[in-house]
Amino acid sequence: MSRTGAFRMPSWRLYLAGDSRAASVKNPVFGSTPSGAYSPGIIAEGRFLYVSGQGPLRNGLVVRGSIEEEVALTLENLAAVVRTAGASLADIIQCRVFLADIADFAAMDAVYGAFLPDPKPARTTVGVALADGIKVEIDAVVVMP
């Protein structure tokens, strides 16, 4: 909102990677199909990629499975956004994991640990109610190479 309280639409400018003008704006990044009104990722200040919460979706539709299967697909979606931005899994510095059932922590951790390279990113894991009956959602912060 502006100081007067009126809503203003954000101004979007898209620049090619490496363009110095990109350092002060937000650039959307795709790589997965969102199921709502959000960008799968945003590069801010040309240095940080913020990856929106990814879930076990394929082409915007929920794919149900075991916790291990849902975590694997969720991480594949996260990786697609990261790679589309020009970064790698090694560039992830933080993840937040949201589990519909915190009792699934050990199973999630096993898949997560095998998927991400060392050193692992900082991570927070919490139990929450998730939309559409999914078991897991993961977001990330990435430092662009």
Give the residue, 27 or 101, on which the prediction is more confident. Answer: 101
User: 53-72: b or e for each residue (b if 16 or more CB lie within 10 Å)?
Assistant: bbbbbeeeebeeeebeebbb
Question: Considering the domain 33-143 in this protein, what is its CATH number?
Answer: 3.30.1330.40
Mean pLDDT computed over 48-71? 95
Residues in contact with 139: Cβ distance below 8 Å, sequence separation at least 6, in sequence order: 50, 51, 52, 53, 54, 78, 95, 96
Local confidence band at 32 (pLDDT 50, 70, 90 cut-offs): confident
| Tens-digit pLDDT profile for residues 83-131 | 999 999 999 999 999 999 999 999 999 999 999 999 999 999 999 999 9
